[in-house]
């Protein structure tokens, strides 16, 4: 593993935390490259069960330097709380480094996030309410505050308060908001941000040095491809770019440094918040998946919308990320299914679409076209090698490979770190993926499974 990007291939919550924690056992640096505490990455390992929001999921390996990159937006009170929680549970954060270029989420961003959602009414995005959109908007508008600003305490307070006053004026005049609490809230944020000063570092330089020494680096994405600001289901997206291309920007290294891109997908699909979701199941089966898969948000506790696997969207994710490997998670959640449906095309006004339609008005109206495959009707949550998977499960995985044309690198069959199957695909890597995409590997197999 030289430099590997772990990217969400769907609408988030694919199990990136689990995969990163697992791969983190072999890494020396793990970098979060975008998003903020809208993310909730669950890790279950020998130390317990954790919900990480900003701290990279590689923190559990004491040899790992965990980096919050410049592409992340940081709510200092949330990061403070997360560090304190980890420390109180015996996990050292001494190796946690935060880029000085990472932007800060401030109380007025959170207020604005709520105000904007309320104003949208029925047309709301369904954000996590963590101030993500307004913080990235300020970054782009060159009005943001950065972690590096905390090095000068007097200057920092002045900067926060003057920015807050300008924002408060807009909020009170334009949106008729009560802004009286903002000053005290900002004091709390200043204190939290200053308490993080020791973690601030030139993380891009650290990363550069690690790469020169051939250290294994993991770049951990948050959210997922379909929530990407450019490539997702706009405007029902987040305000950053989860796609792999942004990993180099958000970590501060060149694009040629990235060697592998592993997309994480559930064996079915979920989405939290509003927006199109062609394979959504609003009946009993959706309810069953939600229950068995425990599909409730890690960050907000909201029930996740559930549906069958959407290979049209997954093919798209393979393409826009340049994926070299696929991690299929939560395969065990389908244990009880008599049959499993997979969407391999959409129908739009009588026409069959095999690729994700670029126009948002079209995506909102497509109908999924399903193929139905037999389920395995047995418990696979303890399986650790391909040979021990039921044939139906192997057939399901091969169906996925054949239709998205990327090899499967990892299969997850439960939330715990050890509940996985590593797939020793002979061609993992650029060559292998390209070969597959050019059709040489069409109909590819999950290799020597012995059946
Ligand atoms: P992330 O945001 O991509 O890191 O994913 P989340 O942590 O938000 O959501 C994934 C959920 O599924 C968490 O509760 C994980 O503990 C759980 N999980 C991950 N992999 C598996 C798996 O293979 N099987 C089951 N049953 N649960 C899993
Ligand atoms: P992880 O990293 C799932 C969704 C929200 C909403 C939209 C915009 O755990 O996979 P935002 O607060 O970002 O402005 O909300 O994006 N969303 C996520 N959905 N997993 C996440 O993160 C998400 N982060 C944001 O539900 O639809
Ligand atoms: Mg999550």
Q: Which residues line ligand 2 (CB under 6 A)?
A: 8, 11-13, 35, 38-41, 125-128, 130, 132-133, 222-224, 227, 238-239, 272-273, 298
- Asked whether the predicted pLDDT for residue 210 surpasses 50, the reply is yes
Assess if residue 397 is contained within a domain.
yes
Check which CATH number belongs to the domain holding 379 and give it. 3.90.170.10
Assess if residue 58 is contained within a domain.
no
- Asked whether the predicted pLDDT for residue 280 surpasses 70, the reply is yes
Q: In the structure encoding, which two tokens stand for residue 32, read together?
A: 């979060």
Assess if residue 153 is contained within a domain.
yes
pLDDT band at 444 (very low <50, low <70, confident <90, very high): very low
Distance CA 405, CA 421 (A): 20
Assess if residue 255 is contained within a domain.
no
All residues with CB under 5 Å from ion ligand 3: 13, 40, 298
By most ligand atoms within 8 Å of CB, the mutation choice from 127, 139, 225 for ligand 2 is 127
Beta strands in 237-280 (DSSP E): 260-266, 269-271
pLDDT band at 53 (very low <50, low <70, confident <90, very high): very high
Total structural domains within the chain:
2
* Among candidate residues 148, 163, 194, the one where a domain is terminated: 194
**Residue 195, φ and ψ in degrees, nearest 5:** -70, -15
Confidence at residue 298, expressed as pLDDT on a 0 to 100 scale: 78
13 counts as catalytic: yes
Q: Same domain for 166 and 295?
A: no
Assess if residue 335 is contained within a domain.
yes
Q: Same domain for 399 and 286?
A: yes
Residue % of the chain over a pLDDT of 70: 94
By most ligand atoms within 8 Å of CB, the mutation choice from 9, 21, 38 for ligand 2 is 38
For the segment 70-96, the average pLDDT, to the nearest whole number, is 98
| Under 8 Å between Cβ of 71 and 31 | no
Confidence at residue 67, expressed as pLDDT on a 0 to 100 scale: 98
Check which CATH number belongs to the domain holding 180 and give it. 1.10.300.10
* Among candidate residues 148, 176, 194, the one where a domain is terminated: 194
pLDDT band at 383 (very low <50, low <70, confident <90, very high): very high
For the segment 329-339, the average pLDDT, to the nearest whole number, is 98
For the segment 143-149, the average pLDDT, to the nearest whole number, is 97
Distance CA 34, CA 372 (A): 37
Assess if residue 199 is contained within a domain.
no
Q: Same domain for 403 and 274?
A: yes
User: Which region among 21-35, 221-235, 294-308 has the lowest average model confidence (pLDDT)?
Assistant: 294-308
Q: Same domain for 353 and 445?
A: yes
Q: Same domain for 425 and 306?
A: yes
For the segment 313-333, the average pLDDT, to the nearest whole number, is 98
344-352's contacts with Cβ under 8 Å and 24+ in sequence apart are 344/311, 344/312, 344/369, 344/370, 344/371, 344/403, 345/312, 345/369, 346/278, 346/312
Give 447's DSSP letter: -
Confidence at residue 153, expressed as pLDDT on a 0 to 100 scale: 86
Walk across the sheet containing 217-220 and list its strands: 200-201, 96-99, 65-68, 29-32, 217-220, 3-8, 260-266, 325-329, 408-412, 420-422
Confidence at residue 235, expressed as pLDDT on a 0 to 100 scale: 96
Assess if residue 274 is contained within a domain.
yes
pLDDT band at 2 (very low <50, low <70, confident <90, very high): confident
Q: Which ligand is nearest to the CA of 11?
A: 2
Give yes or no for residue 421 CB within 6 A of ligand 1.
no
Confidence at residue 86, expressed as pLDDT on a 0 to 100 scale: 98
Confidence at residue 429, expressed as pLDDT on a 0 to 100 scale: 34
Instruction: Find where tokens 């008005």 sit.
Output: 361
Ligand 3 centroid – CA 41 distance (Å) = 5
Q: Same domain for 150 and 270?
A: no
For the segment 184-197, the average pLDDT, to the nearest whole number, is 97
- Asked whether the predicted pLDDT for residue 434 surpasses 70, the reply is no
Q: Same domain for 323 and 178?
A: no
Q: Same domain for 304 and 426?
A: yes
Handedness of CA 262, 438, 309, 346 (dihedral sign): positive
Task: Give the closest residue to 40 by CA, choosing from 235, 230, 223.
Answer: 223
pLDDT band at 428 (very low <50, low <70, confident <90, very high): very low
SS3 content of the chain, % helix, strand, coil (to 5): 40, 20, 40
Confidence at residue 301, expressed as pLDDT on a 0 to 100 scale: 86
Q: Same domain for 183 and 279?
A: no
- Asked whether the predicted pLDDT for residue 425 surpasses 70, the reply is no
* Among candidate residues 145, 172, 194, the one where a domain is terminated: 194
Q: Same domain for 150 and 295?
A: no
Confidence at residue 1, expressed as pLDDT on a 0 to 100 scale: 61
Q: Whose CA is nearest to atom 3 of ligand 2?
A: 12
Assess if residue 152 is contained within a domain.
yes
Domain enclosing residue 144, as ranges: 103-194
Give 252's DSSP letter: T
Q: Same domain for 337 and 436?
A: yes
Q: Same domain for 189 and 274?
A: no
By most ligand atoms within 8 Å of CB, the mutation choice from 7, 15, 272 for ligand 1 is 15
């Amino acid at each position: 593993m030289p430099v590997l990007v772990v990217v969400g291939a769907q609408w988030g919550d694919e199990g990136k935390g689990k995969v990163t924690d697992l791969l983190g056992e072999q890494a020396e640096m793990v970098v979060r490259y975008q998003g903020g505490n809208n993310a909730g990455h669950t890790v279950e390992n020998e130390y317990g069960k954790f919900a990480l929001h900003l701290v990279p999921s590689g923190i559990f390996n004491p040899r790992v330097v965990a980096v919050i990159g410049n592409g992340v937006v940081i709510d200092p009170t949330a990061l403070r709380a997360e560090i304190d929680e980890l420390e109180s549970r015996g996990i050292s954060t001494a190796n946690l480094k935060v880029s000085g270029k990472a932007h800060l989420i401030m109380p007025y961003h959170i207020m604005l996030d709520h105000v904007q959602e309320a104003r949208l009414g029925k047309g709301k995005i369904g954000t996590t309410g963590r101030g993500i959109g307004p913080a990235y908007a300020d970054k782009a508008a060159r009005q943001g505050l950065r972690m590096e600003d905390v090095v000068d305490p007097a200057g920092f307070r002045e900067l926060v308060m003057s920015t807050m006053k300008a924002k408060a004026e807009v909020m009170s005049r334009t949106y008729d908001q009560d802004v009286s609490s903002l000053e005290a809230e900002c004091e709390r944020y200043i204190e939290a941000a200053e308490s993080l000063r020791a973690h601030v570092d030139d993380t891009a330089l650290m990363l550069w040095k690690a790469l020169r020494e051939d250290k294994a680096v993991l770049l951990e994405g948050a959210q997922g491809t379909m929530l990407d600001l450019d490539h997702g289901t706009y405007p029902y997206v987040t305000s950053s770019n989860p796609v792999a291309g942004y990993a180099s920007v958000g970590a501060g290294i060149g694009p040629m440094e990235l060697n592998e891109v592993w997309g994480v997908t559930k064996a079915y699909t979920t989405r939290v918040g509003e927006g199109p979701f062609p394979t959504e199941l609003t009946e009993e089966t959706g309810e069953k998946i939600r229950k068995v898969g425990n599909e409730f948000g890690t960050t907000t506790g909201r029930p996740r919308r559930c549906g069958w696997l959407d290979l049209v969207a997954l093919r798209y994710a393979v393409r826009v990320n340049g994926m070299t490997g696929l991690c299929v998670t939560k395969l065990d959640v389908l244990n009880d299914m008599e049959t499993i449906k997979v969407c391999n095309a959409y129908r739009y006004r009588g026409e069959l679409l095999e690729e994700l339609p670029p126009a948002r008005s079209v995506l909102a109206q497509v109908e999924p076209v399903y193929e139905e495959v037999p389920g395995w009707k047995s418990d696979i949550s303890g399986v650790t090698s391909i040979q021990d998977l039921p044939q139906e499960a192997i057939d399901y995985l091969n169906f996925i490979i054949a239709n998205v044309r990327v090899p499967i690198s990892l299969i997850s069959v439960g939330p715990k770190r050890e509940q996985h199957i590593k797939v020793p695909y002979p061609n993992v890597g650029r060559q292998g993926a390209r070969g597959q995409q050019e059709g040489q590997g069409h109909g590819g197999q999950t290799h020597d499974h012995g059946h």
